[in-house]
Amino acid sequence: MSESRVVLIKIAGMFLLILAGWLARRRGYLLEEASGMLSRIVVDAAFPALVFTQMLRTVDAASLRQDWLLPLLPLPLVGLAYLVGLLVVPFFGGKAQRNTALFLISSPNWVFLPLPIAEALYGSAGVRVILLSNLGAQLTLWSVGVWILHGDIAQALRNLRTNVGLWATAAGILVALLFPGARELGNLHANPASLGGIAGVAVFDALSLLGSLTIPLALLATGAQLGAVPISLRGLPTALWGVLLGRLIAAPLATVALGLLLAAAGFRLPVITGLVLVVVVAMPSAIVCSVMAERYGGDTQLAAQGVFLTTLFSLLTVPVIFFLVS
């Protein structure tokens, strides 16, 4: 199967789950209160559990020494997308939806969608790139991303102190580095001899199960939010067209152009690393954008529509961009 076809199938599968959430809301299975509860479960429980267990499984001192640059890349990539958004958004609407539009443009799907794509394309090497770059992506999402969303740096800093996702990221890294043997907690066949060891494996397994709910619950919550808003292309807010242009076309092309300039100057990434990052920057808006908008006072309707439609149109744009670059 061609690489572009793998990308297409993975994106289509996620879009179908969003559609399931939309149908559930339309038929009355997921009402507004249930949608809000799903959002809180994703942001405050499932997503932190996913991040913590991922860090514990994949991070060690050797990998950080070898690939120390990967966790640093998300910040400049988000910064570049933000600059693109600043250029694009003023042409598509007023100030009321500006921050949410910038947030959607600046926040590609860093892990939920590209992880299975990278694994299908490049196996463990692709997964390694996604997980290590995701370290910086989480820090950027929960700090710079929250600041972009509501435009208040003081509030963003206050959110850092109580943000479960960020603390879960830091805790996973620290535990992985200080207690390397803790990664064996994910091995159900390790046969721990002590009662404490059995309890540790059980807790880790419970966290893994909770983390595995992140993607489907986030997709269903996004679809449920969309079920309460109109989807007719004729009635969409003008800002949404700016999100589509910025997130799916302008930001990926600007990143590729910057990469070519850096390569010409002698700075080159390994081939697999570069191609996986192309997949990431071409991704639709992150699934958690809609639930974070609901949590942190953004335009929930614009965020839900943005995630839905960038995912829909990415069925075309991501395979095309990846094909052209690869």
Q: Hey, where are the domains in the chain?
A: 3-321
Helices 251-264 and 271-281, axial angle in degrees (round to 10): 160
User: What are the beta bridge partners of residue 33?
Assistant: none
pLDDT for res 78:
94
CATH classification code of 3-321: 1.20.1530.20
DSSP 266: T
pLDDT tens column, 150-173? 766 676 667 667 778 778 888 888
Overall average pLDDT of the 281-290 stretch: 88
pLDDT for res 186:
66
pLDDT tens column, 106-156? 999 888 788 888 888 888 778 888 888 887 887 888 788 888 887 666 766
- 226 versus 307: the higher-pLDDT residue is 307
User: Which of 231, 285, 88 minimizes the C-alpha distance to 293?
Assistant: 285
CA-based max dimension of the chain: 64
**Helices and strands, counts by H and E, the chain:** 17, 0
pTM of the model: 0.79
pLDDT for res 233:
64
pLDDT tens column, 179-232? 887 777 766 666 565 777 778 888 888 999 999 898 888 888 888 877 877 666
Tokens of 50: 């996913």
Amino acid at position 212, single letter: S
pLDDT tens column, 65-109? 778 888 899 999 999 999 999 999 999 876 778 899 999 999 998
Asked if residue 247 lies in contact with residue 285, where contact means CB atoms within 8 angstroms, the answer is yes
